Amino acid sequence: MLPLWLDLSSRKAVVFGGGPVGRRKAAYLAAEAEVIMVSEAFSGDLPSSVRTVHGKAEDYLVDMVGWADLVVAATNDPVMNERITNEARRQGKWCNRADGISTFMIPSVVERERYKVAVSTEGRSPGMSRYLRQLLDARLDRRYDLMVALQEELREVAKEAVPSQKEREERLWQVLEDERIWDLLENDPQEAREVAHSIVVR
* Cα 48 to Cα 26, 35, 51, 156, distances in angstroms: 11, 10, 8, 39
pLDDT at 123: 87
Q: 107-140 — its CATH code?
A: 3.30.160
Distance CA(63)–CA(119), nearest Å, equals: 32
190: which DSSP letter? H
Question: CA 149 to CA 158: how far, in whole Å?
Answer: 14
Average per-residue pLDDT for the chain:
96
pLDDT score at 202: 83
pLDDT in tens, 109-125: 999 999 999 999 998 99
pLDDT in tens, 62-98: 999 999 999 999 999 999 999 999 999 999 999 999 9
Predicted TM-score (pTM) of the model is 0.88
Mean pLDDT per 10-residue section of the chain, whose length is 202 residues: 94 98 97 98 94 98 98 98 98 96 95 96 92 97 97 97 96 98 95 97 88
| Cα distance between residue 169 and residue 180, in whole Å | 19
CATH fold for the domain made of 12-104:
Rossmann fold (3.40.50)
Give the span between the Cα atoms of 153 and 147, in whole angstroms.
10
Phi, psi of 124 (to 5 degrees): -70, -35
Half-sphere exposure of 171 (CA within 13 A, CB side): 22
The residues pairing with 94 across neighbouring beta strands, listed in sequence order, are: 70
